[in-house]
């Protein structure tokens, strides 16, 4: 497996899974930046999503991983960062397709919605799966074009 720079963040509901993933990713030889949270004390998820998204979108990190209770809110926040393609994945097949068809650069995991013990295989698959390109690249270009128009204030 190619060694990557990976930034990982979570809110309080994803803290425990995040810590397990950080340790596992480091044991696999990846360079991992853990931005927290570092306890089960309640925190808001948007700042973690934005930090992970900005690190990936800027190229400072190759990929990002976010964890919370369901994955939905933190994914919505991460996808507000221009250039981020955050995908909520619940199993290995989701993770593979998020890479193959969507070139997802941020993996989002809902800690309470995955099978215990499945996280490592899911993350490994997501890290190793290439983007298929082809018709999928055309679709991603449409998304990037729309994002650019929105940022420029020109709408749709």
pTM, entire model: 0.95
What sign does the CA torsion over 74, 75, 76, 77 have? positive
Q: What is the pLDDT of residues 34-88, one digit of tens each?
A: 999 999 999 999 999 999 999 999 999 999 999 999 999 999 999 999 999 999 9
Coil, helix or strand for 80? coil
Q: Which residue has the tokens 């306890």?
A: 39
Q: How far apart are CA 114 and CA 27, in angstroms?
A: 22
**Is 89 noted as a catalytic residue in this protein?**
no
pLDDT score, position 118:
92
Catalytic-labelled residue, pool 12, 68, 89, 94: 68
Distances (CA, A) of 154 to 50, 144, 149: 24, 14, 5
State yes or no: cis peptide before 37, omega within 30 of 0. yes
CB atoms within 10 A of CB 87: 22
101 is catalytic: yes
Mean of per-residue pLDDT scores for the chain: 95
The pLDDT of residue 108 is above 90: yes
What are the strands of the beta sheet with 106-110, ordered from one edge? 31-34, 5-10, 63-68, 106-110, 86-88
Residue 117: its pLDDT value, please?
A: 87
pLDDT at 24 over 90: yes
Tokens representing 63? 């990929």
10 φ/ψ angles, rounded to the nearest 5 degrees = -160, 160
Full set of structural domains in the chain with CATH:
5-152 (3.40.1400.10)
């Amino acid at each position: 497996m190619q060694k990557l720079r990976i930034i990982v963040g979570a809110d309080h509901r994803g803290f425990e899974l995040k810590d397990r993933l950080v340790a596992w990713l480091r044991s696999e030889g990846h360079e991992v930046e853990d931005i927290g949270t570092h306890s089960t004390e309640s925190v808001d998820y948007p700042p973690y999503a934005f930090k992970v998204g900005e690190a990936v979108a800027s190229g400072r990190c190759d990929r990002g991983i976010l964890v919370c209770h369901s994955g939905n809110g933190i994914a919505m926040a991460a996808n507000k960062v221009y250039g981020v393609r955050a995908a909520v994945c619940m199993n290995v097949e989701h993770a593979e397709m998020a890479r193959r068809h969507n070139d997802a650069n941020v993996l989002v995991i809902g800690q309470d919605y995955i099978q215990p013990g499945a996280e490592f295989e899911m993350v490994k698959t997501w890290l190793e799966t290439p983007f298929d390109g082809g018709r999928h690249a055309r679709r991603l270009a449409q998304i990037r074009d729309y994002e650019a128009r929105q940022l420029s204030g020109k709408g749709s």
